[in-house]
Amino acid sequence: MSALSPQQLAQQRLADVTGMDDSAIAHGQSTRSVYVYEAPVRLWHWINVLAITVLCVTGYFIGQPLPTMPGEASQHYVMGYIRFAHFAAGYIMAVGLLGRAYWALVGNHHARELFWVPLFQKAYWREVFNMLRWYLFLIPKPNQYVGHNPLARFAMFTGYLMLSLFMIVTGFALYGEGAQMGSWQETLFGWVIPLFGQSQDVHTFHRLGMWAMVIFITLHVYAAIREDIMGRQSIVSTMISGHRTFKD
């Protein structure tokens, strides 16, 4: 019988202590970790999650106000607080997106994936349809990607970035109505309301955009958790630690 190498001896001692067999040890050693998302990207992501949550909840009640409160109106400021939270979260979302755009210029190449999609590359679309087959349970295993997979990248660009820009522009246009002529909101975004026709039309499309964002977030959370379980790679924890772990 040949002598065991130092690495094999270490594995044997580990198996003796933990009760793991050789296959479990080999599986643990095959796990790979890659640093993907830098700290500013992760911080922006979770602040944005909070801001969008506040925007959706308060936006719903702005469109569907609470029942009339008892007593004198001067004793209550419920809608005032709701509107203030909505406006504050809107500013946070807008400023955060500007900061995210800046980090796309100075961060690593994964930070730029949100802002552009290689639409004219055949290989990209081939991978998009391959991932679509994976999400439809038509193939047993997806390809592995360090950053966003091609389908997720397309969804983030269209379903998050473009929709967020639409919500920010229409939101500031509506805010500019209250701020009135001469305010920077009205000066920069006053053209939006005439473009849609009237203020109520902008309100309607802004609210439809909120429901589109709710649908996108639902699909986004589902896909992230599904990939963690079935795709054999970390997704949710990657946006906490920054490291993507491949388990195969």
When divided into structural domains, the chain yields a total of 1
Task: State which residues form the domain around 128.
Answer: 108-240
Q: Let me know if residue 227 belongs to a domain.
A: yes
Work out the number of other CB atoms within 10 angstroms of the CB of residue 72: 7
pLDDT (0 to 100) of residue 18: 45
Q: What's the pLDDT score for residue 65?
A: 85
CA 221 to chain centre: 9
Q: Is residue 190 part of a domain?
A: yes
- pLDDT of 212 reads 96
Domain assignment present for residue 143? The answer is yes
**Does some domain include residue 187?**
yes
The CA distances from residue 236 to 40, 151, 241, 242, 245, in Å, are: 16, 17, 9, 10, 11
Flag whether 192 is in a domain.
yes
- Domain membership flag for residue 77: no
Residue 24, pLDDT score: 42
CA-only gyration radius of the chain, Å: 24
- Structure confidence at residue 233 (pLDDT): 83
pLDDT at 60: 95
| pTM for this prediction | 0.82
Which burial class, exposed, middle or buried, applies to 57 when counting CB atoms under 10 A from its CB (0-12, 13-18, 19+)? middle
What DSSP string describes 234-245? -STTHHHHSEEE
For residue 91, being part of any structural domain is answered with: no
pLDDT average per 10 residues of sequence, the chain (248 residues):
54 47 48 85 96 96 83 79 95 97 93 92 92 91 86 94 96 92 91 94 96 95 89 86 83
Query: Burial of 244 by CB count in 10 Å (0-12 exposed, 13-18 middle, 19+ buried)?
Result: buried
82 within domain boundaries: no
